[in-house]
Structure 1
Amino acid sequence: MGAVPPFRRDLVVVGASAGGVEALRATVSALPPDFPATVLVVVHLAADTESALARILDRAGPLPARTARHGAPIEPGTVYVAPPDRHLLTEDGTLVLTPGPTENGHRPAINATFRSAALTGGPRVIGVVLSGVLDDGAAGLRAIVDRGGLAVVQDPADALYSGMPENALAVVDTGHVVRAGELGALLDKLVRMPVEPVALRPPPGALVLEDRIARHSVRAGALPPEAQDGGPGYTCPDCQGSLSEVGPGRYRCRIGHAWSAQALLAAHDGEFRFALQKALRALDEKAGLARKLAAQIAGRRPGGLSERYAASAREAAQAAETLRRFLLDAANPAGDDEPPRPDTSGRRTEEAGSQ
């Protein structure tokens, strides 16, 4: 039997979030017209948005860029962009769009695309993590490397939001850490380099399971029985179901919503702040109504009823002021005059602000 000839990496999967559109523009603009690989792009989008990202990238460089369509063949020298509310996966040389469970509150999710590429492309894949908050893409990039692929990460110092690049580098050791302006040239070099074949072990069962959940949408019993028993006692922010730990710092509920520990903490922090804001509104309204009642019956009814309403108003106003100071301090812990950075965590679109 003859030796297996070298091959070239022909699938580039790119994940970006807040601040990532400019990095994508810079990358795509530097790719040459004869770029021999396919590029799949995932940016966090809200489900109800109409994305203009494919048009933006189509104008940015010589390669055609289009919104991915389910069942379309994967063509080299083309940039495919995940549409809102669908995971972008690959199978048998075609694109697969699915309404699978959200991951870290997102659909499309970067991890879902990276996992799929790792399973279907193995060592032919290059995973790229760009600017963004939290850690979507880190676990998927780890899967790509474990399956023989390459990892490329935007230099955190160059990223508008360094969270995603930093979290990717925390789990993947790679020498390919570059500024956005250097990514296009690096990718063109990497996809043209011959790669010697290596023997790979079968993929881990957990990787196959998570890919299957993303492919087959929401269905009860998505997790195996051993993963459904017990759990850390956390609640899924998407459906309020119980979460089970499916890996170190990774959780899923029974119908498949996936969360990293960082994303889960951010989501619960948002829920906590929302609850406090509702409480503040209720206290302000209580104080106002109590003052109004105290004024209406003052001098008309005996028994101190007006004073009791006035005392209730003072108590509610004091509690509201205490809660208001707490919320302001939490929003600006440094205590300086600079306003806090906008919250781009959770499920809000991160493309719109960059366009």
Structure 2
Amino acid sequence: MIENIKNEITQVEVNWLALNQTQRIYQSIINTISRHSEFHFYSEDLNNTILIIKDNFNRTKSSLIKYYLLNLEIEQAQILHRYSDSNILLMELQKLIKENESVYTDNRYGTVLLNISNNNLLLKQFDSAIEYAENSRKYFKGIYLTQKIVDEILFYSNFYKNELLECEKYIIFNSSFNLNESTEVLFSKFNYYKACLEFKKGNYFKCIDILNAHKEIEKDKEGWNINRRILIILSRIELGEFDSLDLSLSNMTKYLNRLAKTNFLNPRFAIILKICMVIVRENLDINRIEKKKKLILKYLEVMKKEDMKWQIKSPELINFEDWIAAKFVIKSRLN
């Protein structure tokens, strides 16, 4: 009996040490991920952390350690665009949180519902994304910024469903909310969404006015400012504003050249700029553009590369390939 007690004490110590290590290395890799936008900077560290935590779980069968393990496996699957895999892992995580008192908190359960919603958006399962987002909302009462993340997913899902009236509900930002540098960028994103909505409706002047009035997004380095500039260019193309287009394209070229030196430039944007230049040089003349169709298709073919493909959850809500195909009848659906 004494031996059994000793074994139990030993196991408790093993469990405690394993959990302590898991929490420490989990937080470390999360901090690393938040500091780097590109996967190759931390892919090996993430994989090694997953292996260590998996070993800790196998030795302890701790539900809490399993919680941390699943979160990292989901992170890895989503970064690698394996959204069907991450969906399976998310369902497992939801079940784990719901059925284990040692793991459950309202915040954790709401977060997993929100993550499932986001994953469904990435899978283009918009109705399911909307359902999970709405269900997650009640777990974030009084947490305004998280509520806006819910609104963001609902906006994207309804936007791609072409439910434009429904989208209007989710782009309201409380002007009395105390803005700091990070929340200011979030605020400007919702103004950008408003501009995308106006573009989709064909209100190009209004789209440009909104984008010119709210430039806080210029501080962002994830492509929002580039897409803001692209949306202005596309709006001016729609309006046939040739004089303004020359200046916009010139400024955009200089901006992309500066970005290229900082490694913050997705080559997709450079290709979009080249195609816009071809269109503008031909003065939007359909017959003249038709003669340049081979060159345009060559550029579009380059955009099939994995690192240049259109991403559904990105600042590029107006899919450039779809826009050019619709405007100039260039059949090139690539995504």
Is TM (by shorter chain) over 0.5? no
- The structure whose residues are more often helix, as a share, is 2
TM range (shorter): under 0.3
TM-score (norm 2): 0.23
Higher relative CO (CA 8 A, sep ≥ 6), structure 1 or 2?
Answer: 1
Mark the structure with the bigger radius of gyration.
1
Q: Normalising by structure 1, what TM-score?
A: 0.22
* Higher strand residue share: 1
